C-alpha cells in the first residue's frame, strides 16, 4: 500500500468546481496522488498533519521564468527592457556570456529554493543560456535536485547567432532526460519567436519541438520589437496551436491577439515586469474580451520578487484600474471586473494548462498529483479569516507558506525548506555572482 498522509481539518480551496471549496475539510494523499478531498474523511493508517490553522490549496504555477538569473536578483530594478542601458543590453549580452555551466547550476539552484519557499510547485524554466551541452546538464541537474515539477524549456543563448548544433543538443537532452512521461520533469523548446527569427527559422523551431513532443514557448509583443506584425506574418504559415505559449503579447496588434486566441494557444503574462520595464501595455483586457484566460509568470528576478502573490495582486489591480478609469469616463456596458477567484485560477489551473500539465496538477482533484500547499492562517498578518480566497490573494505573502508538497513529497514543512543547506547554497551564490560580474566587467549598481 502506498504511503498515506491526511491534511486534517483545514480550510480547503480545491479550486475544482466539481470538488468544491470547504470551510473545514481533509485532504488525503496516497503516494504521489490526491486520493480524496472532503469533510470528515474516515482515514486509517495514515500520517495525520494538523491543518486546522491552514488554508490548503493547490501549489502555485509559474509559466515562464529564467532561472539561471537567480544569482542576479534585483540587479536591474532601475533599468528598462530596451535601450543602451537596458536589460537586453546588459543581462543578455554582457552577463550571460560570462556564465559557466556551474553558474547556470547555481542560478537555477537559488531560484528553485525561492520557488519552493513561495509555494510554487510547478515552474517553466525558460532557459536561454544553453551555450554548451554542459550548461544544459547543469540546469537540469538543479531542477532534478529541487523536487519541483518542472518544464525545462531549452533555449539557445541570445548574445550570438544560434549554433548549428542546437537541434542535436536539444534532441540529446530530450532523449537522455525526458524519455519517460512519468516523471516530474518535462521538456519544451524556448524559441526566439517570430520577432527575433526568420519565418524559416520559426518553422524549423516548431518542427523541432513537435518532433520530440515538446511544447513551444516564445516571447512576443516585446516592446518595439512587437510592433512590426511579425506574429501575424509567421502565424499565417499555420504554426500556432494549443502546444504554444505566447509570453507578454504587450505590443501585438488586434489581428495577432485574435490569432493567438483562435489557434487555442496559451498566454503567459508577467505584469509587474511588463509595467516596470516598458514591454508595453499589459493586454489582460484584450484577452479577457476574447475569452482567453492567461497564466502568470515572474520572468526575471533581476527586477521583481519571486512569488505569485505579487503576480496576482499586480494583474487584478491593473485590470481594475483600467476598468474604473473607463467607468469614471462614463463608459457603459463595461466588461466584468476580475475577481480574486479569477486571479487565483490564473496562478494555478491556468498555469497548469499553459505548461501542458492540467491532467496532473493545478487543482486539488482526486486522481491528480498531490501538488499541495498549506498557508498559515494564525499569523499576525492574516487572522481572522473572513474570506479565504480574498485572504490568499490580498492578505498573504510568502511568510504564510508553511508547507509545500510536490507529488506527495514534502519540500517545505513548518515554514522551513527541507533537505537543504542554505548556508552552502548562499556561499555558492556569492561565488558564482562574483565570478560572473568580474568576468563580464559589469558594475553592480551603486548604493
Which residues of this protein are in contact with Zn ion, per CB under 5 A?
Answer: 299
Q: How far is the CB of 64 from Zn ion (least distance, A)?
A: 6
Q: Is the Cβ of residue 147 or residue 283 nearer to Zn ion in the bound state?
A: 283
The owner of cell 537567480 is 70
Q: How far is the CB of 421 from Zn ion (least distance, A)?
A: 30
Please tell me the distance from the alpha carbon of residue 246 to that of residue 232, in angstroms, as a whole number.
13
Phi, psi of 258 (to 5 degrees): -65, -35
Please tell me the distance from the alpha carbon of residue 73 to that of residue 281, in angstroms, as a whole number.
24
Please tell me the distance from the alpha carbon of residue 135 to that of residue 423, in angstroms, as a whole number.
24
Q: How far is the CB of 219 from Zn ion (least distance, A)?
A: 6
Q: Is the Cβ of residue 256 or residue 299 nearer to Zn ion in the bound state?
A: 299
Please tell me the distance from the alpha carbon of residue 168 to that of residue 72, in angstroms, as a whole number.
30
Please tell me the distance from the alpha carbon of residue 202 to that of residue 219, in angstroms, as a whole number.
13
Q: Is the Cβ of residue 26 or residue 299 nearer to Zn ion in the bound state?
A: 299
Q: Is the Cβ of residue 299 or residue 307 nearer to Zn ion in the bound state?
A: 299
DSSP characters over 62-121: EEEE-GGGGGGTTTTTT--SSSSSSHIIIIIIIIGGG--HHHHHHHHHHHHHHHHHTTEE
Q: Is the Cβ of residue 299 or residue 350 nearer to Zn ion in the bound state?
A: 299
Please tell me the distance from the alpha carbon of residue 220 to that of residue 193, in angstroms, as a whole number.
7
Q: How far is the CB of 299 from Zn ion (least distance, A)?
A: 4
Q: How far is the CB of 234 from Zn ion (least distance, A)?
A: 19
**Where does residue 161 fall: left (phi above 0), alpha (psi -120 to 50 degrees), or beta otherwise?**
beta
Residue nearest to Zn ion (CB): 299
CB 9 within 8 A of CB 52: yes
Peptide bond into 270 cis (omega under 30): no
Q: How far is the CB of 288 from Zn ion (least distance, A)?
A: 22
Q: How far is the CB of 66 from Zn ion (least distance, A)?
A: 6
Q: Is the Cβ of residue 274 or residue 299 nearer to Zn ion in the bound state?
A: 299
Q: Is the Cβ of residue 64 or residue 412 nearer to Zn ion in the bound state?
A: 64
**Quick one: cell of 447?**
548604493
**Where does residue 304 fall: left (phi above 0), alpha (psi -120 to 50 degrees), or beta otherwise?**
beta
Q: What is the DSSP letter of 74?
A: T
Q: How far is the CB of 51 from Zn ion (least distance, A)?
A: 35
Q: Is the Cβ of residue 117 or residue 299 nearer to Zn ion in the bound state?
A: 299
**Strands 185-191, 149-154: pairing kind:** parallel
Amino acid at each position: 500500500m502506498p504511503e498515506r498522509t491526511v491534511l486534517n481539518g483545514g480550510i480547503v480551496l480545491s479550486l475544482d468546481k466539481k470538488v468544491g471549496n470547504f470551510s473545514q475539510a481533509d485532504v488525503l494523499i496516497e503516494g504521489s496522488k490526491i486520493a480524496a478531498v472532503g469533510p470528515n474523511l474516515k482515514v486509517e493508517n495514515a500520517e495525520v498533519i494538523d491543518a486546522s490553522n491552514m488554508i490548503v490549496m493547490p501549489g502555485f504555477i509559474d509559466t515562464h521564468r529564467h532561472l539561471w538569473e537567480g544569482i542576479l536578483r534585483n540587479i536591474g530594478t532601475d533599468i528598462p527592457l530596451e535601450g543602451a542601458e537596458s536589460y537586453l543590453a546588459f543581462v543578455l549580452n554582457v552577463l550571460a556570456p560570462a556564465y559557466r555551466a556551474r553558474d547556470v547550476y547555481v542560478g537555477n539552484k537559488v531560484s528553485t529554493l525561492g520557488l519552493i519557499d513561495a509555494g510554487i510547485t510547478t515552474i517553466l524554466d525558460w532557459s536561454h543560456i544553453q551555450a554548451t551541452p554542459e550548461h544544459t546538464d547543469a540546469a537540469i541537474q538543479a531542477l532534478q535536485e529541487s523536487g519541483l515539477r518542472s518544464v525545462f524549456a531549452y533555449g539557445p543563448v541570445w548574445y550570438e547567432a544560434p549554433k548549428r548544433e542546437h537541434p542535436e543538443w536539444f534532441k540529446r537532452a530530450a532523449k537522455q532526460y525526458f524519455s519517460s512521461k512519468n516523471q516530474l520533469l518535462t521538456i519544451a523548446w524556448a524559441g526566439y519567436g517570430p520577432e527575433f527569427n526568420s519565418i524559416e527559422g520559426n518553422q524549423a523551431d516548431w518542427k523541432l519541438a513537435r518532433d520530440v513532443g515538446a511544447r513551444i514557448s516564445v516571447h512576443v509583443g516585446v516592446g518595439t520589437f512587437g510592433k512590426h506584425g511579425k506574429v501575424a506574418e509567421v502565424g499565417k504559415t499555420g504554426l500556432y496551436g494549443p502546444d504554444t505559449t505566447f509570453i507578454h503579447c504587450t505590443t501585438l496588434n488586434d489581428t495577432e491577439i485574435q490569432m493567438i486566441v483562435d489557434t487555442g494557444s496559451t498566454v503567459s503574462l508577467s505584469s509587474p515586469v511588463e509595467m516596470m520595464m516598458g514591454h508595453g501595455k499589459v493586454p489582460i483586457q484584450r484577452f479577457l474580451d476574447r475569452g482567453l484566460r492567461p497564466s502568470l509568470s515572474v520572468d526575471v528576478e533581476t527586477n521583481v520578487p519571486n512569488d505569485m502573490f505579487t503576480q496576482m495582486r499586480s494583474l487584478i489591480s491593473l485590470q481594475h484600474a483600467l476598468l474604473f478609469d473607463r467607468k469614471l469616463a462614463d463608459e457603459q456596458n463595461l466588461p466584468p471586473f476580475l475577481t480574486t477567484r479569477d486571479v487565483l485560477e490564473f496562478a494555478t489551473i491556468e498555469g497548469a494548462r499553459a505548461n501542458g500539465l492540467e491532467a496532473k496538477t493545478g487543482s486539488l482533484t482526486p486522481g491528480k498529483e498531490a501538488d499541495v500547499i498549506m498557508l498559515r492562517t494564525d499569523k499576525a498578518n492574516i487572522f481572522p479569516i473572513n474570506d479565504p480566497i480574498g485572504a490568499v490573494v490580498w492578505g498573504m505573502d510568502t511568510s504564510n507558506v508553511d508547507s509545500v508538497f510536490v507529488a506527495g513529497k514534502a519540500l517545505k514543512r513548518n515554514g522551513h525548506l527541507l533537505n537543504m543547506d542554505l548556508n552552502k547554497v548562499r556561499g555558492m551564490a556569492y561565488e558564482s555572482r562574483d565570478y560572473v560580474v568580474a568576468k563580464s566587467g559589469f558594475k553592480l549598481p551603486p548604493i
